[in-house]
Amino acid sequence: MADIGVVHMDLTSKGGGEAVSMNVLEALEDDHDVTLLTLTEPDFDALNAYFNTAVDSVTVRQAGRLAPAINDRYGLKYYVLQNALLGRYARRCADEFDLLVSTINELGLGPNAVQYVHFPFDWSVNLENREHIFHPTVEEDSLYERVATRLGGIDVESLTGNVLFANSEWTADAVEEAYGVRPRILHPPVDTSEFEPRPWDDREDGIVTIGRIERSKRICELIEITDGVRERGRDIHLHVVGPTVDEEYRREVKAMAADRDYVFLEGEVPRSRLVELACSHRYGIHGKQYEHFGMAVAELVAAGAVTFVPETGGQHAVVRDRPELLYGSLEEAIESISRVMDEPALQRDLRMSTTEIRRRFGRRRFKQQFRSIVDEVLASPTPTPARRPVGVTAEDASKMD
């Protein structure tokens, strides 16, 4: 049994990163003494209910005073700075642990840590509209982000002594561009345990979208897409499911929904309601461009919904790169949905099974692989280059990814 520190900024955000962190905590707590280093006080009862996990023996430690105070006052506004301070705090405490694990992207944790990257912090990543890809509060090549990155102590030399994971091939490309090191791909854990998809003929002719209510999810645009499909004569409706992290944007979405009796702003709902909606509707849709992976997309697909996604980012891999499900503009989305609604044979061809999603992205797979790497790192006497996970040959890695 080892002492392991898991570093994550704010579990209350309830996004894909938080799902990863909760599953990591659950995977490690039975075999190790686990301490969560964080900025906020998590409500594990609520989080377990939301993510269908059973975390119950983790010690929680607030990471200093400054970063938690910034988070409490400004929320996500100074996200990069908060993570930099969190990383510095964890690094100062490193001697208290046998291993540090980051589930909130790359941090300056020192040698021989394990880090799961959803998207790299490094400001130099050369991607179009990066400030929206990374986080809406970040400005490309800003002095603030340069200082925060430097403050966090993130450098290539320290990362090459870590085991790095990325959530998708697309994210791995961005990490390699930023730091010159290639992470191993470990798709995040998608919970399919409660999904019992209904037969197609018993499903409602409606669309479900799942995700945090924030501007980058483009929910207003999804409502406009629904408008466009209805204007083509299809009697279709939209359910918007997810917790609010941007109150101003929620008010905008609520105002649009209030003008339409076919748009239902569900908000944050119990897990059972989310599963019911996903399993009882024919279609799903996601709005975020440059989505790093898209756990909500995988959930919709696992529920048997034919799901449409932007053509950018890592989410296209979830829908097997089917061009009929990818869209670049709102008009393309309207056209694609309308076409699929008109062609029953195409609907059958595009659907995927819960079993397939469980095999590709299931939680058991994630936990087994994560535990295995942690055990090997703990047993390793020397730092392991990030280019290849410890104990895994290049041939083995290519087979497992």
Instruction: Provide mean pLDDT across the span 149-160.
Output: 78
Could you write out the DSSP letters of every residue in 201-235?
GGSEEEEEEES-BSGGG-HHHHHHHHHHHHHTT--
Cα→Cα distances 135→110, 138, 198, 204, 245, Å: 25, 6, 36, 35, 13
pLDDT single digits (tens) 367-399: 999 999 999 999 986 544 443 333 333 334 334
CATH architecture, range 3-189+363-400: 3-Layer(aba) Sandwich (3.40)
Closest by Cα among 85, 82, 134, 91 to 112: 91
Instruction: Provide mean pLDDT across the span 325-345.
Output: 97
Could you please state the CATH topology (level 3) that the domain comprising 200-359 is classified under.
Answer: Rossmann fold (3.40.50)
Q: What is the pLDDT of residue 30?
A: 95
Q: Which two tokens stand for residue 151?
A: 């403050």
Q: What is the pLDDT of residue 146?
A: 72
d(CA 221, CA 227) in angstroms, rounded, equals 10
Instruction: Provide mean pLDDT across the span 269-283.
Output: 96
What order do you get walking across the sheet with 204-210 strand by strand?
263-267, 237-241, 204-210, 281-285, 306-310, 326-327
Top-confidence residue, 300 or 121: 300
Q: Which residue has the tokens 């699929």?
A: 340
Could you write out the DSSP letters of every residue in 165-178?
EESSHHHHHHHHHH
CB 7 within 8 A of CB 100: yes
d(CA 351, CA 220) in angstroms, rounded, equals 26
pLDDT single digits (tens) 43-98: 999 999 999 999 999 999 999 999 899 888 888 778 888 988 999 999 999 999 99
Q: Domain map of the chain by residue range?
A: 3-189+363-400, 200-359
On average, the pLDDT of the chain sits at 88
Q: What is the pLDDT of residue 245?
A: 85
pLDDT single digits (tens) 177-236: 888 889 999 999 999 988 999 999 999 999 999 999 999 999 999 999 999 999 999 999
d(CA 170, CA 162) in angstroms, rounded, equals 20
Q: Which two tokens stand for residue 29?
A: 């707590």
d(CA 399, CA 358) in angstroms, rounded, equals 18
Length of the chain: 401
Q: How far does Cα 123 stand from its chain's mean position?
A: 20
Q: Which two tokens stand for residue 190?
A: 């998608």
Given pLDDT bands bounded at 50, 70 and 90, which one contains residue 122? Answer: low
The DSSP 8-state label assigned to residue 137 in this structure reads: T
Q: Which two tokens stand for residue 105?
A: 């992207």
Could you write out the DSSP letters of every residue in 228-263?
HHHHTT---EEEEE--BS-HHHHHHHHHHHHT-TTE
